[in-house]
Amino acid sequence: MDFQSIDTKILSIGEPRIPSPVNNEERFADGYFIQDDDRVLIDVNADNISKILKAGKEIPSFETAGPRSKIYFDPSKVRCALVTCGGLCPGLNDIIRAIVLELYYRYGARNIYGIRYGLQGFIPRYGHDVATLSPAMVENILDTGGSILGSSRGEQDIHEVVDCLERMNIGILFMIGGDGTLMAAKKIAETIMERNLKISVVGIPKTIDNDIYMVARSFGFDTAVDVATQSIKGAHNEAESYPNGIGLIKLMGRHSGFIATTAVLAQQEVNFVLIPEVDFDLDGPKGLLARLEKRLKERNHAVIVVAEGAGQKFFEGDKDEKDASGNIRLKDIGLYLKDKINDYFKVRNIDISLKYIDPSYMIRSLPANANDSVFCGFLGRDAVHAGMAGKTKLIVGHWNNHFVHVPIDTSAGRRKQVSPDGKLWHTVLESTGQGSLKNE
């Protein structure tokens, strides 16, 4: 990956001049505050750093997230809004809670509003009310899945969104969502700047698939892997319990196979892994079906994990349908494989016992596990620090074990994927022993 071309400059809506109220107690050390020149290297490879230095170029780095000694907004007057958009994800309520408590108790901000049902909540014709958020409202939501603010999909008029922000006199907008939400946040921030408004836009990237570009880890992913491993255990137990037993599990991953690959390595009882980044064949001597037959003859059972975006080539020619956000609806590779496997063995008069498991929507709506909950706390608090300092058009991300500020322009519209030549996929191949499933 070429990091040299990445723009890491973070924009501000004005000079922060107000002393921050968050470090007025003795329990915090003198070095508590973060400076804008505190940086996190993007590439930590020593050889690459040496080449950059020899070329006389600046080593690319991200601005470190965290509290600043001077802030832009007056906590007693600033009005803040939170919105959750797109699909559900474990940890949404944890993020909401962390933002509200940090604003209320650490900064003393009292005007905090929740926009209901995603971007629809900004548009008058939908008639959604606005929630006034307080510590009492959010203190017990950690064990609640989904989002207390609700969500929605689909594009909305950006000018109407900004009109609403103006009417409400919002100073900081926190947008929690995936790639579509980040694209909307980028447009909202640009429209705000065109109107010369003093509104900070801070994004918190959300995707179970862990495919946000230039973000090493996204919240909800750890929980998704946790639950996915339970599905693998169940599928393996089912497969082992019957002659020629086959467990087939479809996991989330529209364009990236991080959940599938990570869950397989966490629960090493899988024989075949199919992800969007790696092509495979069904028929032919090296195709999945022949390899599956060989596996059953040798071991009498098999477990297959498929990411939802894998094998879409098998549906070429089918009419594409789009969801409310304009994304092409994926064809169901899980049910397709189930039918193909059953047909293959039926023709050969081989009795099989195939159990199909799809835990996708159960995973999305669950509460976050302990690791994700802690992670969400960091993201929410650092989002507040960035917003109060007047920083804008950024997301709070995680990179090289640090929380950092990533410009929305750098991340939105691009996707992180599993590298077929990288260590993660090679380790999956070692764990499963599946080899290439291509006939070429």
Indicate which residues carry an active-site annotation.
Answer: 209
CA 172 – CA 137 distance, rounded (Å): 20
Percent helix, strand, coil in the chain (nearest 5)?
Answer: 40, 20, 45
Q: Residue written as tokens 């075949």?
A: 272
Contact between 278 and 425 (Cβ < 8 Å):
yes
Say which residues have a Cβ less than 8 Å from residue 358's Cβ, sequence separation at least 6: 249, 250, 334
Say which residues have a Cβ less than 8 Å from residue 324's Cβ, sequence separation at least 6: 152, 153, 154
Nearest to 20 by CA among 66, 65, 72, 79: 72
**Beta 39-41 vs 61-64: how paired, if at all?**
antiparallel
Contact between 410 and 126 (Cβ < 8 Å):
no
The DSSP bridge partners found for residue 200 are 172
Contact between 217 and 204 (Cβ < 8 Å):
no
CA 37 – CA 54 distance, rounded (Å): 22
Phi/psi at 278 (5° precision): -120, 120
Number of other CB atoms surrounding residue 167 within 10 Å: 10
C-alpha radius of gyration, the chain, whole number = 24
CA 365 – CA 368 distance, rounded (Å): 9
